[in-house]
């Protein structure tokens, strides 16, 4: 059963020139890049995307980080792609993410208010559908 998921290369990944390497890992895993766009996110998009975190202490620093530079938004397709990409991305915390994952190999803690962890991937089919609709209206 082919699934679709939203993958974001966050501003830290774009600014560090890691977009090509991240996308290559997705393709090397056998997934298809169905849509791809370089986006300067707006506050409106980010408030929709992170709506479940509104009111939490990390919400505003997260939005500010995501506004700090361009983001690469991708619709990625493949069998069990949601689970597969999240495994490929690694744990949220780059310091403890396993070697071989995107975050484990390419990320680290920069000592800032928000965790800069290079990528986002939808966590369920419902989230994927909602998030794709936000970024690719």
Domain ranges of the chain: 2-135
Catalytically annotated residues: 120
Annotated binding site for ATP: 10, 58, 86, 92, 103, 117
Of 64, 12, 75, the C-alpha closest to 42 is 64
Number of helices and strands (H, E) in the chain?
Answer: 7, 4
CA–CA distances in Å: residue 66 to residues 26, 35, 78, 87, 102: 21, 20, 27, 22, 18
pLDDT tens digit sequence for 7-53: 999 999 999 999 999 999 999 999 999 999 999 999 999 999 999 99
Specify the pTM.
Answer: 0.95
**Residue 113 pLDDT grade (very low, low, confident, very high; cuts 50, 70, 90):** confident
With vertex at residue 108, the alpha carbon angle to CA 107 and CA 111, rounded to the nearest 5 degrees, is: 140
Q: What is the third-level CATH fold of 2-135?
A: Alpha-Beta Plaits (3.30.70)
Name residue, tokens 């059963």. Answer: 1
């Amino acid at each position: 059963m082919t699934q679709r998921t939203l993958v974001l290369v966050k501003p830290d990944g774009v600014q560090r020139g890691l977009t090509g390497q991240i996308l290559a890992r997705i393709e090397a895993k056998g997934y298809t890049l169905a849509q791809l766009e370089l986006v300067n996110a707006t506050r409106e998009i980010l408030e929709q995307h992170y709506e479940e975190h509104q009111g939490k202490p990390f919400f505003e620093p997260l939005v500010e980080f995501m506004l700090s530079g361009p983001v690469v938004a991708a619709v990625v397709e493949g069998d069990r792609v949601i689970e597969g990409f999240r495994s490929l991305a690694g744990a949220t915390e780059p310091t403890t993410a396993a070697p071989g994952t995107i975050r484990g190999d390419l990320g680290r803690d920069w000592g800032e208010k928000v965790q800069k962890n290079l990528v986002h991937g939808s966590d369920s089919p419902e989230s994927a559908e909602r998030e794709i609709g936000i970024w690719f209206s």
